[in-house]
Amino acid sequence: MREIARAADLSAANLYYYFRSKHELLYFCQDHSLDRMMEACRAAHASRTAPAERLRRVIRAHLTCMLDELDGAAAHTEVDALPAGLRGQIVAKRDRYERAVRRIVAAGSRAGAFVTCDATLVTRALLGALNWTARWFRPDGPRAPAAVADAYAEYLVRGLLR
């Protein structure tokens, strides 16, 4: 809480004005991040672009949310730190997001744009790679979040192209 307050230029006491507990704050971070990523999936599905471009857009949005926004960083992956009731809500939303990404992978495979694959396995590998960036990325490092997002989008999608 102290680190978050410092990053937000607030006192820890001010955070408790908005959130009753650290669990509530963590839930908010995860819920908000998932909302942003779900919106990216909805926009990608509605875009009617090629499956590869839709997947690139989702990857870029996912990494931008995680690496370029305070509320989307490593907190996004700390599901086990939540109490059971809040954890259940986040896991259900996270599963909806995974299914939305999986639909893009499966549609690309069915259309012949992507190699034939197990869309569930590929999606989980892809999301695992994206989520792990929160563990190693440093804002003062050699690449900006947008550059990492672009590189990942190109690299991960290229591995699926037929």
Contact in structure between 23 and 86 (CB atoms under 8 Å) = yes
**Contact (Cβ atoms closer than 8 angstroms) between residue 104 and residue 86:** no
Radius of gyration for the chain, computed over Cα atoms and rounded to the nearest angstrom: 17
Residue 13: what pLDDT? 73
Q: Residue 121: give its domain's CATH number.
A: 1.10.357.10
Interval 70-120: pLDDT, tens: 544 566 677 888 889 999 999 999 999 999 999 999 999 999 999 999 999
Is 132's pLDDT higher than 80?
yes
Cα 160 to its chain centre, rounded Å, is 19
Structure-token pair, residue 158: 């290229």
Per the domain annotation, does 12 fall within a domain? Answer: no
Rounded Cα gap, residues 123 and 99, in angstroms: 9
**The total number of structural domains that make up the chain:** 1
Kindly state whether residue 144 falls inside one of the protein's structural domains: yes
23 domain-assigned: no
- pLDDT value for 59: 98
Domain that holds residue 143: 32-158
For 70, other C-beta atoms within 10 Å of its C-beta total: 10
Please state, in angstroms and rounded to a whole number, the distance separating the CA atoms of residues 45 and 102: 12
Task: Let me know if residue 94 belongs to a domain.
Answer: yes
- List the one residue out of 39, 57, 52, 152 whose CA is nearest residue 96: 39
Q: Is residue 100 part of a domain?
A: yes
- For residue 126, the 8-state DSSP code is H
Whether residue 38 contacts residue 100, with contact meaning beta carbons closer than 8 Å, is answered with yes
Query: Residue 8 falls within a domain, yes or no?
Result: no
Structure tokens at 1: 């809480």
With respect to residue 13, please indicate whether it lies within any of the assigned structural domains: no
Residue 117 lies inside a defined structural domain of this protein: yes
Go through 95-119 and write b for each residue having 16 or more CB atoms within 10 A of its CB, e for each that does not.
eebbebbbbbbbbbbeeebbeebeb
> What's the pLDDT at 29?
82
Of 129 and 81, the one with more pLDDT: 129
- Can you name the residues that pair with 161 across neighbouring β-strands? 114
Entry pTM = 0.86
Least confident of 13-22, 32-41, 141-150: 13-22
